[in-house]
Amino acid sequence: MAADTRRIRVLAVDHDENMLTRYRDVLCFEGEEAAELEALFNDDLHLPSQEDILAEASNPIYEVACLSDPEDALTAVSQASKQDNPFAIALIDVHLNDEARGMAGVDLASAIRDLDEKIEIVLLSSQVSVPLKEINKRVLPTEKLLYVQKPFQSAELKQIAASLCSKRDLETRLHELNQTLATKVEARTAELNAANRRLRLDISKRAAVLRELQASEQRYRMLFEKDITGNFASDGDGLILDCNVAFAELFGFNSPQDVHGANIFELWDAMGAPEPLAELLRGQDRVTNKEVTLRRGGLDQHLLANFDTVRGESGALAEVRGYIFDMSEPKRLEEQLRQSQKMEALGTLAGGIAHDFNNILGVILGYAEIIESSAEPDSGLERRVREISRAGKRARDLVNQILNFSRQGPQERHPLTLAPLIKEALKLLRSSVPTNVEIISRIETDQDNVLADPTQVHQIMLNLCGNASHAMREKGGTLTVTLADVKAGDPVVPPADLGQPERFVRLTVADTGGGIAPEVVERIFDPFFTTKKQGEGTGMGLAMVHGIVKRHDGHLELVNEPGTGAAFHVFLPKTAMVERPVAESAAAELVFLQGRILFVDDEKPLTDIGREMLESFGFEVVTRTSSVEALEMFKHRARDFDLVITDQTMPNMTGLELAREILQIRPGMPIILCTGFSDAVSYDRLRDIGIGDFIMKPILKHDLIRSISRQLAGE
């Protein structure tokens, strides 16, 4: 424990007396706990040049003032400031005595900040009832505000308190060091002035001064050349006199020597800057934090530029100095994060829509199948009902795309080899691709084992190749599909946070269709966004591809060259597991067409259509629209039923919960689970529970009867 331990004042405000007691018990600690926390901070902060500061800050003793009334808290803060003994930290419950709005704590924090701008404020809450954006707006500055979720661990509170104390001490010491530095600078300036006077009197000291200048120049040159910011200096006409490596690379030169003699005004304007540099600098001595987008090699470069100028007596430019930072990679990562967040939010919405839509389609398709089976062959009624069925199935396919996009469709990932899947997909595509489009397939790897869902890999191929062929349908062109290994140094590689490039295999679908218009590039992955004519596309293709790739822990990258073509690169992680051959199984025969079935769904139209559909095949059907009522009946009539068909999403008791209860009453009971969507249902989980089969809504008669036959046959 440090010898000069000092007390830190902490204000705790909470309407819960138990919480105030806990604050006092947790923070009022000494001895071994303090020594352990000191070691933790010295390790975590890793600031060897600040050892003295941390030694003083790492062993605080807290003086905790616990209050439950906001007015008392304001009075305490005001008096502490007047007495020059302010609180270092304020722990404030967001809700206090205003459970309804959850604003009392935020109001108090804002008022305390007005009284003491240096106090560190920690807002605590068991639920997020106030938007963080609102809190950040009300309680400034944000760097002196923390938001902690209740309940918390004691060690967390200790660490937060000690961190804030250390931060406060560092800020205080920094202020003191700045003041000391200013004093030293003034003193040093005076010394230099004196040295300059002495220099004029003693010419013999010139050699020493020259050596010092040379050392200073060497230090400056090292900093200048190693800086990741592109730095340059030019004369008033723009002729570049000096630059570093980062500047040379930024503008496409191999070395700084190759840049000498080039003109910064011409370089800037040649890269498509929205404003000529000469105009940008006109009448200004300094331009700071200017964000510009330049174009080099067909790719946009996002730059943050700063310029300083030196002017002669006439006001004309004499020198220009620039500091240009390449923001392309941070911008790309920011856009990826934004896209991911948007896709996640839209996916949740899409899943809910798909659920309701599937129930509606179930009624439409079910009755259409019944009417079609009873209609006279080749009659007008049969033709009309068949068209209804076709339209319903197209709607069903659209819902499946929505479910895949929202991550709520069934997914079975297992080891598979990509090359055969790619070849099979291209065979299917050949008939739908215009004859003026040439298809080239390049399989350039034999290490293409991935852990994936083969159906979804097919969907990736069909969507990307379909879009590519559509882009070339009028003028023709070449559709190139390449499967290759990824190597470090390739023009396009996955982001570094996904791991080494070599652990991925790359599937590239490229076309020569003229590329994608720059004004729509940012929206191509948005659901329902399409540039096709009405009836030619749903706008779900690329959104679904993006979702599938993300679910497979991969990465999707677009390289777009307007006027030339576009290429989509799909990166999927390789696996060491080997694809297992799947044995062929004969289709289940429809032989068990008798028995009693319990059909449960909270939508009465679906139970009605289910009854009529099953009775047409000879089954006796009992329906219930309440899972609770169905369970109660089953308890008394468990031996009366040969099979149970239940919906998953129902009020009071889900289909999974109903299945568990039924299997406890009658183990081995054949059960089929139906759902319009579910992110909680998987085949592995169904097998663990004992459910025999799983059918996605809308339920078609053929699928339902085949599943029933398999279950009654004991498969």
**How many CA atoms, within 13 angstroms, populate the side-chain half-sphere of residue 397?**
9
| Within-domain flag for 241 | yes
Considering the domain architecture, whether residues 26 and 168 belong to the same structural domain is answered as yes
| Within-domain flag for 1 | no
Considering the domain architecture, whether residues 154 and 233 belong to the same structural domain is answered as no
Q: Crossing angle of helices 104-115/70-82, nearest 10°? A: 10
In the prediction, which pLDDT does 175 show? 79
Integer angstrom CA distances of residue 279 from 132, 546, 701? 42, 42, 72
How far apart (Å, rounded) are the C-alpha atoms in residues 349 and 44? Answer: 41
In the prediction, which pLDDT does 631 show? 96
Contact 339, 303 (CB under 8 A): no
Considering the domain architecture, whether residues 161 and 234 belong to the same structural domain is answered as no
Considering the domain architecture, whether residues 561 and 600 belong to the same structural domain is answered as no
Residue 279's CB: how many other CB atoms inside 10 A? 11
Considering the domain architecture, whether residues 41 and 138 belong to the same structural domain is answered as yes
Contact 601, 650 (CB under 8 A): yes
Considering the domain architecture, whether residues 535 and 612 belong to the same structural domain is answered as no
Q: Which two tokens stand for residue 704?
A: 């339902």
We report the CATH number of the domain holding residue 505 as 3.30.565.10
How far apart (Å, rounded) are the C-alpha atoms in residues 61 and 84? Answer: 18
| Within-domain flag for 645 | yes
Contact 13, 89 (CB under 8 A): no
Give this prediction's pTM: 0.39
Considering the domain architecture, whether residues 146 and 266 belong to the same structural domain is answered as no
| Within-domain flag for 379 | no
242: left (phi over 0), alpha (psi -120 to 50) or beta: beta
Cβ burial 111-131 (10 Å sphere, 16+ → b, else e): bbbebbeebbbbbbbeeeebe
Nearest-CA neighbor of 339 among 558, 566, 504, 510? 558
| Within-domain flag for 392 | no
Tell me the torsion sign for CA atoms 133, 138, 144, 145: negative
In the prediction, which pLDDT does 343 show? 64
The angle at the Cα of 476, spanning 471 to 477, to the nearest 5 degrees, equals 85
Considering the domain architecture, whether residues 436 and 544 belong to the same structural domain is answered as yes
* 51 alpha-carbon distance from chain centroid: 38
Helices (H), 236-312: 245-250, 256-259, 264-270, 277-281
| Within-domain flag for 206 | no
Q: Which of 326, 354, 374 is the last residue of a domain?
A: 326
In the prediction, which pLDDT does 647 show? 92
Considering the domain architecture, whether residues 623 and 562 belong to the same structural domain is answered as no
| Within-domain flag for 74 | yes
In the prediction, which pLDDT does 678 show? 57
| Within-domain flag for 565 | yes
In the prediction, which pLDDT does 524 show? 81
Q: Are strands 299-311 and 317-326 parallel, antiparallel or unpaired?
A: antiparallel
- Show the domain range for 640: 596-712
Considering the domain architecture, whether residues 630 and 536 belong to the same structural domain is answered as no
Residue 489's CB: how many other CB atoms inside 10 A? 6
- Structural domain count, the chain: 4
pLDDT along the chain (715 residues), means of 10: 64 90 81 47 44 49 89 92 91 74 75 89 80 78 82 85 82 83 84 78 68 70 74 90 89 88 86 74 82 74 87 85 86 73 67 74 83 80 82 73 56 80 81 84 87 83 86 88 89 85 91 84 73 58 84 90 90 79 39 79 92 88 95 94 93 93 94 76 78 86 87 79
Considering the domain architecture, whether residues 425 and 493 belong to the same structural domain is answered as yes
We report the CATH number of the domain holding residue 695 as 3.40.50.2300
